[in-house]
A and B are shown apart, each in its own frame.
Chain A
Amino acid sequence: MSSSARQNHNDPVLRARDLICERDDRLLFRDLQLTLTDGSALRIAGRNGTGKTTLMRGLVGLNILLEGSIDWRQTDASPWLYVGHRPGISAHLTVLENLRFLARLRGLDPDQAALRQALAAVDLQAFDDSPGQQLSAGQQRRVLLAMLYLPGLPDCWVLDEPFTALDKQGVLALEHHLGAHCAKGGSLLFSTHHEPTVFDYATVTLGEHMTEGAT
Protein backbone atom coordinates (compact mmCIF):
# COMPACT_ATOMS: atom_id res chain seq x y z
CA MET A 1 0.00 0.00 0.00
CA SER A 2 1.29 3.48 -0.83
CA SER A 3 2.16 5.97 1.86
CA SER A 4 -0.40 8.53 0.72
CA ALA A 5 -3.13 5.92 1.00
CA ARG A 6 -2.04 5.18 4.54
CA GLN A 7 -2.22 8.80 5.59
CA ASN A 8 -5.91 9.21 5.01
CA HIS A 9 -6.81 5.74 6.03
CA ASN A 10 -10.03 6.87 7.66
CA ASP A 11 -11.55 8.15 4.44
CA PRO A 12 -13.76 5.66 2.67
CA VAL A 13 -12.26 4.07 -0.41
CA LEU A 14 -15.29 5.08 -2.39
CA ARG A 15 -17.99 7.57 -1.63
CA ALA A 16 -20.67 7.94 -4.27
CA ARG A 17 -23.62 10.24 -3.72
CA ASP A 18 -26.88 10.92 -5.52
CA LEU A 19 -26.19 8.54 -8.36
CA ILE A 20 -28.72 8.69 -11.18
CA CYS A 21 -28.80 6.57 -14.26
CA GLU A 22 -31.28 6.78 -17.07
CA ARG A 23 -31.02 4.45 -20.02
CA ASP A 24 -33.25 4.36 -23.09
CA ASP A 25 -35.77 6.67 -21.37
CA ARG A 26 -35.95 4.30 -18.43
CA LEU A 27 -34.85 5.34 -14.99
CA LEU A 28 -32.61 2.59 -13.65
CA PHE A 29 -31.97 4.15 -10.24
CA ARG A 30 -31.74 7.51 -8.60
CA ASP A 31 -30.56 9.01 -5.31
CA LEU A 32 -28.32 6.02 -4.85
CA GLN A 33 -25.68 6.40 -2.11
CA LEU A 34 -22.72 4.06 -1.79
CA THR A 35 -19.90 4.09 0.73
CA LEU A 36 -17.12 1.56 0.77
CA THR A 37 -14.55 1.48 3.56
CA ASP A 38 -11.37 -0.49 4.09
CA GLY A 39 -11.94 -4.09 4.96
CA SER A 40 -15.56 -4.09 3.94
CA ALA A 41 -17.47 -5.72 1.14
CA LEU A 42 -20.53 -4.40 -0.63
CA ARG A 43 -22.72 -6.54 -2.82
CA ILE A 44 -24.86 -5.02 -5.55
CA ALA A 45 -27.96 -7.13 -6.02
CA GLY A 46 -30.99 -6.79 -8.23
CA ARG A 47 -32.80 -8.59 -11.01
CA ASN A 48 -31.51 -8.70 -14.59
CA GLY A 49 -31.66 -5.31 -16.26
CA THR A 50 -31.80 -3.25 -13.08
CA GLY A 51 -28.47 -1.60 -13.82
CA LYS A 52 -25.90 -3.53 -11.80
CA THR A 53 -23.38 -3.63 -14.61
CA THR A 54 -24.16 -0.06 -15.65
CA LEU A 55 -23.50 1.08 -12.10
CA MET A 56 -20.22 -0.75 -11.74
CA ARG A 57 -18.94 0.31 -15.15
CA GLY A 58 -19.93 3.88 -14.32
CA LEU A 59 -17.99 3.78 -11.07
CA VAL A 60 -14.76 2.77 -12.83
CA GLY A 61 -15.25 5.27 -15.66
CA LEU A 62 -16.54 2.99 -18.37
CA ASN A 63 -20.04 4.44 -18.58
CA ILE A 64 -20.84 8.11 -19.05
CA LEU A 65 -24.57 7.67 -18.49
CA LEU A 66 -24.02 7.46 -14.75
CA GLU A 67 -24.42 10.87 -13.12
CA GLY A 68 -23.70 11.96 -9.56
CA SER A 69 -20.62 12.55 -7.47
CA ILE A 70 -18.15 9.69 -7.34
CA ASP A 71 -15.12 10.12 -5.10
CA TRP A 72 -12.41 7.50 -5.03
CA ARG A 73 -9.74 7.88 -2.39
CA GLN A 74 -6.67 9.44 -3.98
CA THR A 75 -3.90 6.94 -4.61
CA ASP A 76 -0.76 6.99 -6.70
CA ALA A 77 -1.96 4.43 -9.20
CA SER A 78 -5.43 3.44 -10.32
CA PRO A 79 -7.38 2.88 -7.06
CA TRP A 80 -9.40 -0.07 -8.26
CA LEU A 81 -9.09 -3.41 -9.96
CA TYR A 82 -11.98 -4.02 -12.32
CA VAL A 83 -13.19 -7.38 -13.55
CA GLY A 84 -16.07 -7.13 -16.00
CA HIS A 85 -18.21 -9.49 -18.01
CA ARG A 86 -15.80 -9.79 -20.89
CA PRO A 87 -12.80 -11.97 -20.08
CA GLY A 88 -10.10 -9.63 -21.45
CA ILE A 89 -8.19 -12.63 -22.77
CA SER A 90 -6.65 -12.43 -26.24
CA ALA A 91 -7.34 -15.50 -28.34
CA HIS A 92 -3.85 -15.50 -29.83
CA LEU A 93 -1.84 -15.12 -26.63
CA THR A 94 -1.10 -17.96 -24.25
CA VAL A 95 -2.55 -18.01 -20.76
CA LEU A 96 0.76 -16.96 -19.26
CA GLU A 97 1.22 -14.12 -21.77
CA ASN A 98 -2.31 -12.90 -21.11
CA LEU A 99 -1.84 -12.90 -17.37
CA ARG A 100 1.51 -11.15 -17.62
CA PHE A 101 -0.04 -8.48 -19.84
CA LEU A 102 -2.90 -7.91 -17.36
CA ALA A 103 -0.30 -7.46 -14.62
CA ARG A 104 2.00 -5.18 -16.62
CA LEU A 105 -0.96 -2.92 -17.45
CA ARG A 106 -1.22 -2.23 -13.73
CA GLY A 107 2.44 -1.50 -13.35
CA LEU A 108 3.19 -4.88 -11.78
CA ASP A 109 6.04 -7.04 -12.93
CA PRO A 110 5.48 -10.46 -11.38
CA ASP A 111 8.13 -13.09 -11.98
CA GLN A 112 7.45 -16.46 -13.55
CA ALA A 113 6.96 -18.08 -10.13
CA ALA A 114 4.32 -15.55 -9.04
CA LEU A 115 2.45 -16.00 -12.34
CA ARG A 116 2.49 -19.78 -12.03
CA GLN A 117 1.36 -19.56 -8.45
CA ALA A 118 -1.57 -17.37 -9.47
CA LEU A 119 -2.52 -19.82 -12.21
CA ALA A 120 -2.27 -22.70 -9.78
CA ALA A 121 -4.66 -20.87 -7.44
CA VAL A 122 -7.33 -20.98 -10.14
CA ASP A 123 -6.47 -24.52 -11.22
CA LEU A 124 -4.97 -23.56 -14.56
CA GLN A 125 -1.36 -24.59 -13.97
CA ALA A 126 -1.61 -27.20 -16.73
CA PHE A 127 -2.80 -24.64 -19.29
CA ASP A 128 -0.07 -22.00 -19.06
CA ASP A 129 0.99 -22.53 -22.67
CA SER A 130 -2.47 -22.91 -24.22
CA PRO A 131 -3.63 -20.08 -26.46
CA GLY A 132 -6.66 -18.16 -25.21
CA GLN A 133 -8.86 -19.45 -28.01
CA GLN A 134 -8.60 -23.03 -26.78
CA LEU A 135 -10.03 -22.22 -23.37
CA SER A 136 -13.66 -22.60 -22.38
CA ALA A 137 -15.64 -19.61 -21.12
CA GLY A 138 -15.09 -20.69 -17.53
CA GLN A 139 -11.36 -21.11 -18.06
CA GLN A 140 -11.02 -17.68 -19.71
CA ARG A 141 -12.79 -16.25 -16.71
CA ARG A 142 -10.33 -18.03 -14.42
CA VAL A 143 -7.37 -16.45 -16.20
CA LEU A 144 -8.80 -13.02 -15.47
CA LEU A 145 -9.50 -14.06 -11.87
CA ALA A 146 -5.93 -15.38 -11.55
CA MET A 147 -4.99 -11.70 -11.59
CA LEU A 148 -6.54 -11.46 -8.11
CA TYR A 149 -3.83 -13.78 -6.79
CA LEU A 150 -0.92 -11.62 -7.91
CA PRO A 151 1.03 -9.58 -5.35
CA GLY A 152 0.88 -5.78 -5.28
CA LEU A 153 -2.68 -5.19 -6.52
CA PRO A 154 -4.81 -2.10 -5.77
CA ASP A 155 -6.77 -2.36 -2.53
CA CYS A 156 -10.22 -1.99 -3.95
CA TRP A 157 -11.62 -4.70 -6.15
CA VAL A 158 -14.63 -4.03 -8.33
CA LEU A 159 -15.91 -7.36 -9.58
CA ASP A 160 -18.90 -7.64 -11.86
CA GLU A 161 -20.47 -11.09 -11.48
CA PRO A 162 -17.17 -12.76 -10.50
CA PHE A 163 -18.83 -16.12 -9.90
CA THR A 164 -20.33 -16.58 -13.38
CA ALA A 165 -19.14 -19.57 -15.38
CA LEU A 166 -17.21 -20.99 -12.42
CA ASP A 167 -17.83 -24.48 -11.10
CA LYS A 168 -18.76 -25.21 -7.47
CA GLN A 169 -15.19 -25.64 -6.24
CA GLY A 170 -14.13 -22.53 -8.11
CA VAL A 171 -16.90 -20.47 -6.51
CA LEU A 172 -15.95 -21.66 -3.04
CA ALA A 173 -12.24 -21.00 -3.57
CA LEU A 174 -12.98 -17.51 -4.86
CA GLU A 175 -15.26 -16.79 -1.89
CA HIS A 176 -12.47 -17.74 0.49
CA HIS A 177 -10.02 -15.58 -1.42
CA LEU A 178 -12.35 -12.57 -1.37
CA GLY A 179 -12.93 -13.09 2.34
CA ALA A 180 -9.18 -13.16 2.94
CA HIS A 181 -8.78 -9.98 0.89
CA CYS A 182 -11.28 -8.13 3.10
CA ALA A 183 -9.73 -9.56 6.26
CA LYS A 184 -6.39 -8.06 5.16
CA GLY A 185 -7.98 -4.62 4.95
CA GLY A 186 -8.87 -4.58 1.27
CA SER A 187 -12.28 -3.57 0.08
CA LEU A 188 -14.62 -5.21 -2.35
CA LEU A 189 -17.52 -4.11 -4.48
CA PHE A 190 -19.17 -6.94 -6.30
CA SER A 191 -22.38 -7.86 -8.02
CA THR A 192 -23.83 -11.32 -8.00
CA HIS A 193 -27.10 -13.20 -7.91
CA HIS A 194 -25.54 -15.81 -5.71
CA GLU A 195 -25.14 -15.08 -2.00
CA PRO A 196 -21.65 -15.88 -0.72
CA THR A 197 -21.64 -17.50 2.71
CA VAL A 198 -17.96 -17.42 3.59
CA PHE A 199 -17.53 -13.71 4.41
CA ASP A 200 -19.64 -10.79 5.58
CA TYR A 201 -20.91 -8.11 3.26
CA ALA A 202 -23.57 -5.43 3.00
CA THR A 203 -26.09 -5.57 0.19
CA VAL A 204 -27.57 -2.80 -1.95
CA THR A 205 -30.50 -3.93 -4.04
CA LEU A 206 -31.18 -2.08 -7.28
CA GLY A 207 -34.57 -1.90 -8.94
CA GLU A 208 -36.49 -0.57 -5.96
CA HIS A 209 -36.83 2.92 -7.43
CA MET A 210 -38.12 1.78 -10.75
CA THR A 211 -41.84 1.90 -10.08
CA GLU A 212 -41.84 5.31 -8.42
CA GLY A 213 -39.45 6.87 -10.93
CA ALA A 214 -40.56 5.56 -14.28
CA THR A 215 -43.16 7.39 -16.30
Chain B
Amino acid sequence: MMFLLRREWLLSWRRRSELINPLVFNLMVVALFPLGITPDPDELAVLAPGILWVAALLATLLSLDLMFRYDHQDGSLEQVATSGTPLAALILAKILNHWLFTGLALTLMSPLLGLMLNLPISLMPLTLLVLALGTLVFSTIGAIGAALVAGLRRSGLLLSLLVIPLYIPVLILGTGSINAALAGVSFVAPLSALAALACMALALAPWVAAAALQLSIND
Protein backbone atom coordinates (compact mmCIF):
# COMPACT_ATOMS: atom_id res chain seq x y z
CA MET B 1 0.00 0.00 0.00
CA MET B 2 2.78 2.44 0.90
CA PHE B 3 4.52 1.98 -2.44
CA LEU B 4 1.27 2.84 -4.25
CA LEU B 5 0.91 6.03 -2.20
CA ARG B 6 4.54 6.92 -2.80
CA ARG B 7 4.12 6.50 -6.54
CA GLU B 8 0.99 8.65 -6.63
CA TRP B 9 2.64 11.31 -4.57
CA LEU B 10 5.70 11.34 -6.81
CA LEU B 11 3.57 11.51 -9.99
CA SER B 12 1.47 14.37 -8.61
CA TRP B 13 4.52 16.25 -7.48
CA ARG B 14 6.08 16.00 -10.93
CA ARG B 15 2.85 17.13 -12.57
CA ARG B 16 2.21 19.87 -10.04
CA SER B 17 1.77 22.53 -12.72
CA GLU B 18 -1.45 20.79 -13.79
CA LEU B 19 -2.68 20.54 -10.23
CA ILE B 20 -2.46 24.27 -9.65
CA ASN B 21 -5.27 24.98 -12.15
CA PRO B 22 -8.13 24.08 -9.79
CA LEU B 23 -6.63 26.18 -7.01
CA VAL B 24 -6.28 29.22 -9.26
CA PHE B 25 -9.84 28.65 -10.47
CA ASN B 26 -11.04 28.60 -6.87
CA LEU B 27 -9.26 31.84 -6.09
CA MET B 28 -10.67 33.56 -9.19
CA VAL B 29 -14.27 32.53 -8.57
CA VAL B 30 -14.21 33.72 -4.98
CA ALA B 31 -12.46 36.96 -5.93
CA LEU B 32 -15.02 37.75 -8.63
CA PHE B 33 -18.15 37.21 -6.54
CA PRO B 34 -17.96 40.48 -4.55
CA LEU B 35 -17.45 42.38 -7.80
CA GLY B 36 -20.48 40.74 -9.37
CA ILE B 37 -22.91 40.89 -6.45
CA THR B 38 -22.13 43.47 -3.81
CA PRO B 39 -19.14 44.94 -2.02
CA ASP B 40 -21.21 45.31 1.15
CA PRO B 41 -19.39 43.31 3.88
CA ASP B 42 -22.53 42.35 5.79
CA GLU B 43 -24.24 40.88 2.76
CA LEU B 44 -21.05 39.08 1.70
CA ALA B 45 -20.74 37.41 5.10
CA VAL B 46 -24.16 35.83 4.55
CA LEU B 47 -23.18 34.56 1.11
CA ALA B 48 -19.66 33.46 2.10
CA PRO B 49 -20.31 29.81 3.06
CA GLY B 50 -22.20 29.13 -0.16
CA ILE B 51 -19.60 30.82 -2.35
CA LEU B 52 -16.71 28.97 -0.69
CA TRP B 53 -18.43 25.63 -1.11
CA VAL B 54 -19.58 26.06 -4.70
CA ALA B 55 -16.12 27.27 -5.73
CA ALA B 56 -14.47 24.29 -4.01
CA LEU B 57 -16.93 21.89 -5.64
CA LEU B 58 -16.34 23.25 -9.14
CA ALA B 59 -12.58 23.34 -8.62
CA THR B 60 -12.66 19.67 -7.60
CA LEU B 61 -14.61 18.79 -10.73
CA LEU B 62 -11.87 20.37 -12.82
CA SER B 63 -9.27 18.09 -11.28
CA LEU B 64 -11.11 14.74 -11.35
CA ASP B 65 -10.54 13.99 -15.00
CA LEU B 66 -6.81 13.48 -14.47
CA MET B 67 -7.21 10.86 -11.75
CA PHE B 68 -6.99 7.80 -14.01
CA ARG B 69 -6.38 9.35 -17.45
CA TYR B 70 -2.61 8.91 -17.71
CA ASP B 71 -2.55 5.49 -16.12
CA HIS B 72 -5.23 4.30 -18.50
CA GLN B 73 -3.50 5.68 -21.57
CA ASP B 74 -0.07 4.31 -20.87
CA GLY B 75 -1.28 0.87 -19.76
CA SER B 76 -0.30 1.13 -16.10
CA LEU B 77 -3.86 0.24 -15.10
CA GLU B 78 -3.64 -2.98 -17.13
CA GLN B 79 -0.44 -3.86 -15.34
CA VAL B 80 -2.07 -3.28 -11.95
CA ALA B 81 -5.19 -5.23 -12.90
CA THR B 82 -3.18 -8.29 -13.98
CA SER B 83 -0.55 -8.15 -11.25
CA GLY B 84 -2.45 -9.55 -8.26
CA THR B 85 -2.43 -6.19 -6.44
CA PRO B 86 -6.10 -5.25 -5.96
CA LEU B 87 -7.29 -2.30 -8.00
CA ALA B 88 -9.09 -1.04 -4.88
CA ALA B 89 -5.70 -0.49 -3.20
CA LEU B 90 -4.52 1.64 -6.10
CA ILE B 91 -7.79 3.58 -6.01
CA LEU B 92 -7.54 4.23 -2.28
CA ALA B 93 -4.03 5.57 -2.84
CA LYS B 94 -5.30 7.77 -5.65
CA ILE B 95 -8.17 9.10 -3.51
CA LEU B 96 -5.88 10.01 -0.62
CA ASN B 97 -3.38 11.57 -2.96
CA HIS B 98 -6.06 13.52 -4.82
CA TRP B 99 -7.39 14.84 -1.54
CA LEU B 100 -3.90 15.83 -0.44
CA PHE B 101 -3.13 17.77 -3.61
CA THR B 102 -6.60 19.21 -4.30
CA GLY B 103 -8.95 18.88 -1.32
CA LEU B 104 -6.48 19.77 1.39
CA ALA B 105 -5.04 22.58 -0.72
CA LEU B 106 -8.53 24.01 -1.26
CA THR B 107 -9.20 23.67 2.46
CA LEU B 108 -6.04 25.51 3.41
CA MET B 109 -6.93 28.33 1.01
CA SER B 110 -10.32 28.83 2.63
CA PRO B 111 -9.35 31.03 5.63
CA LEU B 112 -7.81 33.55 3.25
CA LEU B 113 -10.80 33.42 0.91
CA GLY B 114 -13.14 33.59 3.91
CA LEU B 115 -11.46 36.81 5.01
CA MET B 116 -12.02 38.25 1.54
CA LEU B 117 -15.72 37.46 1.97
CA ASN B 118 -15.91 38.87 5.50
CA LEU B 119 -16.54 35.52 7.12
CA PRO B 120 -16.05 35.98 10.90
CA ILE B 121 -12.60 34.82 12.01
CA SER B 122 -14.15 32.84 14.86
CA LEU B 123 -15.68 30.51 12.24
CA MET B 124 -12.37 29.68 10.51
CA PRO B 125 -11.63 26.48 12.49
CA LEU B 126 -15.09 25.14 11.70
CA THR B 127 -14.74 26.13 8.04
CA LEU B 128 -11.42 24.31 7.81
CA LEU B 129 -12.83 21.16 9.43
CA VAL B 130 -15.98 21.09 7.32
CA LEU B 131 -14.12 21.74 4.09
CA ALA B 132 -11.54 19.06 4.90
CA LEU B 133 -14.29 16.49 5.43
CA GLY B 134 -16.31 17.67 2.44
CA THR B 135 -13.43 17.66 -0.01
CA LEU B 136 -12.55 14.15 1.18
CA VAL B 137 -16.02 13.05 0.11
CA PHE B 138 -15.56 14.96 -3.17
CA SER B 139 -12.34 13.05 -3.92
CA THR B 140 -13.85 9.72 -2.91
CA ILE B 141 -17.07 9.97 -4.90
CA GLY B 142 -15.15 11.62 -7.71
CA ALA B 143 -12.97 8.51 -7.98
CA ILE B 144 -16.05 6.44 -8.86
CA GLY B 145 -17.03 8.88 -11.59
CA ALA B 146 -13.49 9.15 -12.92
CA ALA B 147 -13.20 5.34 -12.99
CA LEU B 148 -16.41 5.03 -14.98
CA VAL B 149 -15.28 7.44 -17.70
CA ALA B 150 -11.57 6.51 -17.69
CA GLY B 151 -11.72 4.90 -21.13
CA LEU B 152 -13.76 7.62 -22.81
CA ARG B 153 -12.49 10.58 -24.76
CA ARG B 154 -13.84 14.06 -23.99
CA SER B 155 -15.54 12.82 -20.87
CA GLY B 156 -15.51 16.07 -18.91
CA LEU B 157 -19.21 16.88 -19.23
CA LEU B 158 -20.32 13.32 -18.61
CA LEU B 159 -18.16 13.14 -15.51
CA SER B 160 -19.71 16.34 -14.15
CA LEU B 161 -23.23 15.07 -14.81
CA LEU B 162 -22.46 11.80 -13.03
CA VAL B 163 -20.83 13.33 -10.02
CA ILE B 164 -22.64 16.62 -9.29
CA PRO B 165 -25.89 15.00 -8.04
CA LEU B 166 -23.83 12.99 -5.57
CA TYR B 167 -22.02 16.12 -4.40
CA ILE B 168 -25.23 17.95 -3.53
CA PRO B 169 -25.69 16.38 -0.05
CA VAL B 170 -22.13 17.41 0.82
CA LEU B 171 -22.83 20.94 -0.36
CA ILE B 172 -26.01 21.16 1.73
CA LEU B 173 -24.44 19.71 4.87
CA GLY B 174 -21.28 21.76 4.47
CA THR B 175 -22.94 25.12 3.98
CA GLY B 176 -25.53 24.07 6.58
CA SER B 177 -22.95 23.66 9.32
CA ILE B 178 -21.28 26.99 8.65
CA ASN B 179 -24.60 28.80 8.30
CA ALA B 180 -25.81 27.28 11.57
CA ALA B 181 -22.69 28.52 13.34
CA LEU B 182 -23.10 31.90 11.68
CA ALA B 183 -26.67 32.09 13.02
CA GLY B 184 -25.49 31.01 16.46
CA VAL B 185 -27.30 27.66 16.61
CA SER B 186 -25.85 24.18 17.02
CA PHE B 187 -23.96 22.88 14.02
CA VAL B 188 -23.30 19.41 15.42
CA ALA B 189 -26.01 17.63 13.44
CA PRO B 190 -24.91 18.61 9.90
CA LEU B 191 -21.27 18.23 10.89
CA SER B 192 -21.70 14.67 12.18
CA ALA B 193 -23.78 13.76 9.14
CA LEU B 194 -20.94 15.01 6.95
CA ALA B 195 -18.36 13.04 8.94
CA ALA B 196 -20.51 9.91 8.64
CA LEU B 197 -20.78 10.50 4.90
CA ALA B 198 -16.99 10.79 4.65
CA CYS B 199 -16.42 7.52 6.54
CA MET B 200 -18.98 5.64 4.47
CA ALA B 201 -17.68 6.99 1.17
CA LEU B 202 -14.08 6.16 2.06
CA ALA B 203 -15.00 2.60 3.06
CA LEU B 204 -17.14 1.77 0.03
CA ALA B 205 -15.89 3.88 -2.86
CA PRO B 206 -12.63 2.01 -3.55
CA TRP B 207 -14.55 -1.19 -4.21
CA VAL B 208 -17.19 0.47 -6.36
CA ALA B 209 -14.55 2.37 -8.30
CA ALA B 210 -12.53 -0.84 -8.77
CA ALA B 211 -15.54 -2.52 -10.39
CA ALA B 212 -16.05 0.51 -12.61
CA LEU B 213 -12.38 0.60 -13.54
CA GLN B 214 -12.40 -3.09 -14.42
CA LEU B 215 -15.09 -2.27 -16.99
CA SER B 216 -13.14 0.71 -18.30
CA ILE B 217 -9.99 -1.34 -18.83
CA ASN B 218 -11.94 -4.07 -20.55
CA ASP B 219 -11.81 -3.63 -24.31
Contacts and interface: CB of A to CB of B under 8 A. Distances in A.
B84 interface: yes
B122 interface: no
B79 A105 contact: yes
Given A90-B11, A92-B15, A105 B85 contact: yes
A85 interface: yes
A87 B83 contact: no
12 contacts: A62-B82, A85-B75, A86-B78, A88-B78, A89-B76, A90-B71, A90-B74, A92-B10, A104-B3, A105-B83, A105-B84, A105-B85
Max chain A C-beta neighbours (<10 A), residue from B10, B79, B81, B84:
B79
Contacts of A132: 74
A92 B11 contact: yes
Contact of A78 (B3, B82, B217): B82
B79 A88 contact: yes
A60 interface: yes
Contacts, number: 71
Contact of B74 (A80, A88, A107): A88
A82 to B, nearest CB: 4
Contacts of A126: none
B7 A61 contact: no
Interface residues of A, number: 27
B81 A62 contact: yes
A67 interface: no
Contacts of A183: none
A91 B70 contact: yes
A90 B9 CA distance: 13
Nearest to A65: B218
Nearest to B72: A86
A69 interface: no
B40 interface: no
B81 A90 contact: no
B78 A62 contact: yes
B108 interface: no
A60 B81 CA distance: 9
Contacts of B3: 101, 104
A160 B158 CA distance: 33
A86 B79 CA distance: 9
A77 B218 contact: no
Given A82-B78, A86-B78, A93 B11 contact: yes
B10 A60 contact: no
B70 A88 contact: no
